[in-house]
């Protein structure tokens, strides 16, 4: 274990500085467990609705299911009403998550149009009140995931000012995606803006954006001075990115890329976890997208993906993968 003073969120000590980002439709419990196994120090839930908690929505509850081998976990909550954020923090204070994270970065129109997610960047005072409300109702660290601004005009300096407001409101750490809301996921993440946020606040800063390899993760630490690196799309189909980042962080040799056998084994283990969570049919349908990610760049994978999209049972998928491995 290589915990250092830099690897803390509030009083929560983490094993290393590499975290799995919250990703809608991806970071469910099975995927989080696989990433923890590969070295992620903390993993985030999919985005959870504060109103869903308020109204006792069953689907919301399903998103909050945790397993012992995935801890520590941060629950990410989205909303715009301080009273609902306070209620969510109070409810989750008794749950097994280690961190309560507030989403201020989601760029999706249906979230933004409701004044939530990255829309909160346009109202820093409300953003601060949301943090204060959560902090008042939980003993756990309250953190925020934000973008560097709504558009290019208010990025960099604006991000630093917003971060100061969130720090003053009681946030224990701030994750900064180096893109504006208008960028969505296009263009290049501005790591310099992350550095400016780090220089502006005294709490830990988590860098996020364009971390596609283990080398990128270590380089972000060096170039921005951030305390943690949050890996998002770079982990999809590639939980091994945490293994690679950790080895390089420890100044060890980077592991060899996962073999086809390792990819198949990981996919099948992932499938087994999904089946334990839901019906076999639902698990198979979900694994179709994961299979495309797991085998991206592997020779013959385009034909394999087409065949996988036609299977309807776990046994058919296992047989197909066994056949592919022997080719």
Catalytic residues: 106
Tokens encoding 4: 């250092």
| DSSP-H helix ranges across 101-232 | 109-112, 124-135, 157-168, 191-200, 214-224
The Cα 310–Cα 303 span in angstroms is: 11
The Cα 316–Cα 311 span in angstroms is: 6
Q: Which helix (H) or strand (E) holds 79?
A: none
For 284-316, the DSSP string reads HHHHHHHHHHHTTT-TTHHHHHHHHTT--SHHH
The Cα 55–Cα 87 span in angstroms is: 11
Report the candidate in 193, 189, 122 with the shortest Cα–Cα distance to residue 157. 193
Confirm if 81 and 121 have CB atoms less than 8 A apart.
no
Confirm if 20 and 61 have CB atoms less than 8 A apart.
no
Structure letter (DSSP) for residue 73: E
């Amino acid at each position: 274990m290589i915990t250092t003073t830099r690897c803390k969120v509030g009083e929560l000590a983490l094993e290393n500085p590499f975290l799995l980002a919250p990703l809608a439709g991806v970071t469910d419990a099975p995927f989080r467990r696989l990433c923890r196994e590969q070295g992620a120090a903390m993993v985030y839930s999919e985005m959870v609705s504060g109103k869903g908690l308020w109204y006792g929505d069953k689907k919301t509850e399903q998103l909050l299911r945790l397993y012992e081998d995935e801890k520590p976990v941060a629950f990410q909550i989205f909303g715009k009403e301080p009273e609902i954020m306070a209620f969510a923090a109070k409810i989750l204070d008794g749950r097994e998550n280690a961190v309560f994270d507030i989403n201020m970065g989601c760029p999706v129109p249906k979230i933004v149009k409701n004044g939530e997610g990255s829309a909160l960047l346009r109202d820093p005072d409300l953003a601060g009140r949301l943090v204060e409300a959560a902090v008042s109702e939980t003993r756990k660290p309250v953190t925020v995931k934000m973008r560097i601004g709504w558009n290019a005009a208010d990025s960099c300096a604006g991000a630093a000012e917003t971060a100061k407001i969130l720090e003053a409101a009681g946030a224990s750490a701030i994750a900064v995606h180096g893109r504006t809301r208008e960028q969505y996921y296009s263009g290049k993440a501005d790591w310099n803006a992350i550095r400016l946020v780090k220089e502006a606040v005294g709490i830990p800063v988590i860098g996020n954006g364009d971390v596609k390899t283990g080398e990128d993760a270590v380089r972000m630490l060096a170039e921005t001075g951030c305390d943690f690196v949050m890996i998002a799309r770079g982990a999809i189909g590639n939980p091994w990115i945490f293994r690679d980042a950790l080895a390089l962080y420890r100044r060890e040799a980077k592991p060899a890329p996962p073999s086809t056998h390792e990819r198949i084994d990981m996919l099948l283990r992932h499938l087994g976890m999904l089946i334990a969570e839901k019906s076999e049919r639902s698990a198979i349908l979900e694994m179709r997208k994961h299979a495309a990610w797991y085998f991206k760049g592997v020779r013959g994978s385009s034909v394999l993906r087409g065949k996988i999209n036609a299977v309807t049972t776990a046994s058919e998928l296992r047989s197909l993968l066994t056949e592919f491995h022997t080719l």
